Amino acid sequence: MVEKKASEAGYNLVILMVTMTLLNIALAIALPKWSHVIRREREEELISRGFQYAEAIRIFQNRFQRLPVRLNYDDNYYQQRYQGIPIEGYTAIIEKLLDHPAIKVHLGQALRASDRGQFDHLFWSGPLDAYFEHELGRLQYRSLVFERFDEKGDYQGNPVLNYCEEAVSWTRISEHKHFAPWEEHEKTVCFREYSKLAEDGDIPYYPLRLQGDKSMLQQYIDLARKTKGVSFIGRLGTYRYLDMHVVIGESLDFVKACLAAPMSEWGKFSGKPL
Ligand SMILES: Cc1cc2nc3c(=O)[nH]c(=O)nc-3n(C[C@H](O)[C@H](O)[C@H](O)COP(=O)(O)OP(=O)(O)OC[C@H]3O[C@@H](n4cnc5c(N)ncnc54)[C@H](O)[C@@H]3O)c2cc1C
């Protein structure tokens, strides 16, 4: 009786060991597959989130017509291959541009629509709604307040630092001497920039282009099309956020088209406002 129990126990032990071995083999085959599946699921999740980010950025860019968020470590502000500022600065370029007998410069004087009659044709680079004295309402812009402060030496080591924290009230600090690193200066001039909605009397910098602005913009476009002898140009005239090279490129194309046509056929906008 005792012998039979011992042999049954030995038999059970063998079955248990075989089962355990089979289980281990099955686990050894299945585990890599499971972990592979889990890894693939995570990768798919990552890709799908990446697409969501990309889509969100695309919508943001379409809607606000300005720079999207950068999701990499490229610390250049712009993505163009060639970047820089004129070697002699902007003043030299502007002086050369204005050095023409047909050009007269009047500083500190605001032009108004009522001055139109003094000219054969007017190219208006001010806000589109301001030309019509906001008769259909005010298009919205963001404005900026600049606060200058001077320091000795080097304040922040590069031209622009953005501040995204909610607790900091300025959006960025620009330290101008770093725009011209070939120059040497003992002191340094910096500007803190504060962003605000443009109110009466503020300089309009960035067109907002929210849904309400766009429907009002359409009405101003219709009004502009009916107005003779004036073309609306540049960032404020066409109510778009544009970088400098885009404005310059569009203006050169626009002036070429004007010079090739009689004045009565000159275009209404230097670029498509909508
Ligand atoms: C803070 C800031 C930083 C920027 N940084 C960059 C950058 O790093 N790189 C870049 O490429 N772009 C930059 N931009 C954009 C760049 O400034 C614009 O693309 C460019 O100035 C647009 O040129 P514009 O001739 O269309 O308009 P503006 O340069 O705005 O010129 C319009 C002119 O019309 C004048 N005006 C308006 N109304 C009247 C009136 N009634 N009578 C007489 N004159 C009037 C204004 O005073 C102004 O001088 C920046 C813009 C801002 C606001």
Query: pLDDT tens across 72-115, in order?
Result: 777 777 778 888 788 888 999 999 999 999 999 999 999 999 99
Return the pLDDT at 30.
Answer: 80
Residue of 198, 196, 193, 163 whose CA lies nearest to 176: 193
Given a cut of 90, is residue 135 above it in pLDDT? yes
Please name the helix (run of DSSP H) or strand (run of DSSP E) that holds residue 147, with its range, or none. Answer: strand 141-152
The token duo for 259 is 């010079």
Summarize pLDDT for 19-47 with one digit per residue, the tens. 888 888 888 888 877 778 778 877 777 77
Give per-residue pLDDT as tens, 42-56: 777 777 777 777 777
Q: Note whether residue 101 is domain-resident.
A: no
pLDDT at 1 over 60: no
- Domain that residue 258 falls in: 110-138+206-274
Mean pLDDT: which of 15-19, 60-64, 192-196 is highest?
Answer: 192-196
Residue 127 shares a structural domain with residue 210: yes
Which atom of ligand 1 has the smallest separation from the CA of 245? 11
- Same domain as 80, residue 6: yes
The residues that are catalytic are 66, 70, 142, 172, 193, 241, 243
Mutate to test the pocket of ligand 1, among 122, 233, 243, 251 (most ligand atoms within 8 A of CB): 243
Atom of ligand 1 nearest to the CA of 234: 26
> What pLDDT score does 7 carry?
67
**Structural domain contains residue 91:** no
Closest C-alpha to ligand 1, atom 51: 205
Per-residue pLDDT band for 153 (boundaries 50, 70, 90) equals: very high
Q: Are residues 48 and 179 in the same domain?
A: no
Supply the pTM of this predicted model.
0.77
Does residue 253 share a domain with residue 228? yes
Both 256 and 273 in one domain: the answer is: yes
Is 98 contained in some domain? no
Average predicted confidence (pLDDT) for the chain: 88
How far is 214 from 218, CA to CA, in rounded Å?
A: 6
Q: Would you say 208 and 140 are in contact if contact means Cβ atoms under 8 Å apart?
A: yes
For ligand 1, the distance from its centroid to the CA atom of residue 42, given in whole angstroms, is 46
Q: Is residue 237 part of a domain?
A: yes
pLDDT of the residue at 44? 78
> Which of 247, 251, 252, 269 best tests ligand 1's pocket when mutated (most atoms within 8 Å of CB)?
247
Per-residue pLDDT, 86: 83
The pLDDT of residue 180 is above 70: yes
Q: Whose CA is nearest to atom 36 of ligand 1?
A: 126
Number of structural domains the chain divides into:
3
198 lines ligand 1 (CB under 6 A): no
Closest CA to 66 of 231, 239, 182, 256: 239
Percent of the chain with pLDDT over 90: 59
Q: What is the pLDDT of residues 2-14, one digit of tens each?
A: 455 666 777 788 8
Q: Which atom of ligand 1 is nearest to the CA of 237?
A: 26
**Confidence (pLDDT) at 6:** 61
